[in-house]
Amino acid sequence: MTGRYLLRRLLAAVGVLWAAFTVSFVVLYLLPGDPVATMASGGLDGEPLPPEQLDALRARYGLDQPVLVQYGRRLLAALTGDFGTSIQNGQDVRSAILGVLPPTLQISVAGLAVAVLFGGTVALVATYTRALWLRQLLMALPSLAVSLPVFWVGLMLVQVFAFGLGLLPSVGANGPAALVLPAVTLGLPTGALVAQVLAKSLSQALGEPYVTTARAKGVGRAGIHLRHALRNAALPALTVLGYVVGNLLAGSVVVETVFTRPGLGRLTVAAVGVQDIPLVQGIVVFAAAVFVLVNLTVDVIYPLLDPRIGATS
């Protein structure tokens, strides 16, 4: 692996982060609506404040300055990890995001585990079995799982397993039992994606000449499948890891809502709902950082799996 290859990847990552900050800034400030007026409308219940009081509030949150000045200040602060304070409750944006990370990480890791388990099993069995009907059935599963609305799956699971049978807790984030239903809900569509990609590359790999060679050497079917084909087919599956992480993050919005778990998804929904500009921007940049990190990791692992990549690029 050359240092040049890594440096280029790193620079690209920084560029993506800067773009995320800038685009979110532009979008948030060009959005119609006024965060201070939103807060000051008192929800459904109050009379709006007179304009002079609104102006005082804008000054307090620094929203009265020229847009470029605001941009410069916020960018400088963001470089030190400071994204300001939430307009909604005055909480420091960084600690608000870090505070909801543990439950979101739990659910994402558990969801990923379900996804890999479900997706891997379906792909392996579908490509291994000689029964045509089973193969067709399994190959149809991913499309079905992808097309089911996540919130519907979640609601059905909670109705049956929590309210109906009383086997598992319906809501909350306490203990491993509370993790089961959300993880299954989150893992199904993501697992479907994994199954589709893996099954396709497995079928391809099984047609490669080295499989024929291995077979001629007397390696058994299962051995070919697991030791030879799967190793090669894993690379394309790894490539979609970034996409899978995106799936998990997006899914967390729904899953956290249905299962009443605190987390990044709930935080995002609340922040967007009241146009809490500093918080929304903090979340956008954070999400971009996660993607950048995942893709950077994939980029680094790639040449380790396939030395040709680092050498030729």
Based on its alpha-carbon atoms, the radius of gyration of the chain, rounded to whole angstroms, reads 24
From the list 90, 175, 209, 218, which residue makes contact with other proteins (rule: CB under 8 A)? 90
Q: In sequence order, which residues have a C-beta less than 8 Å from that of residue 159 and are 6 or more positions away?
A: none
For other proteins, the binding residues in 187-226 under the rule CB under 8 A are: none
- Rounded CA gap, 251 and 67, in Å? 34
By CB under 8 A, residue 268 contacts other proteins: no
**Token pair listed for 161:** 């397993």
b/e for 97-126, b at 16 or more Cβ within 10 A?
Answer: beebeebbebbbebbbebbbebbbebbbeb
- Rounded CA gap, 306 and 299, in Å? 11
- Quote the least distance from Cβ 85 to other proteins, whole Å: 7
- Rounded CA gap, 21 and 28, in Å? 11
For other proteins, the binding residues in 94-153 under the rule CB under 8 A are: 99-100, 151
**Binding range to other proteins, per CB under 8 A, among 27-35, 141-149, 209-217, 295-303:** 27-35
From the list 262, 296, 298, 310, which residue makes contact with other proteins (rule: CB under 8 A)? 262
- Rounded CA gap, 179 and 160, in Å? 16
Asked if 267 contacts 279 with a C-beta cutoff of 8 angstroms, the reply is yes
**Token pair listed for 101:** 């990370």
From the list 17, 146, 155, 250, which residue makes contact with other proteins (rule: CB under 8 A)? 155
From the list 78, 122, 141, 173, which residue makes contact with other proteins (rule: CB under 8 A)? 173
41 or 203: CB nearest other proteins = 41
48 or 223: CB nearest other proteins = 48
From the list 66, 164, 175, 207, which residue makes contact with other proteins (rule: CB under 8 A)? 164
- Quote the least distance from Cβ 54 to other proteins, whole Å: 8
Torsion sign across C-alpha atoms 231, 232, 235, 240 = negative
158 or 179: CB nearest other proteins = 158
* Binding track, positions 30-59, relative to other proteins; x by CB under 8 A: --xxxxxxxxxxxxxxxxxxxx-x---x--
For other proteins, the binding residues in 56-75 under the rule CB under 8 A are: 57, 60-61
Asked if 154 contacts 223 with a C-beta cutoff of 8 angstroms, the reply is no
Q: Of the candidates 117, 122, 144, 119, which has an alpha carbon nearest to the alpha carbon of residue 134? A: 122
Q: What's 158's DSSP letter?
A: I
Residues that bind other proteins (CB under 8 A): 32-51, 53, 57, 60-61, 85-91, 99-100, 151, 155, 158-159, 162-167, 170-173, 257-260, 262, 266-267, 270, 274-275
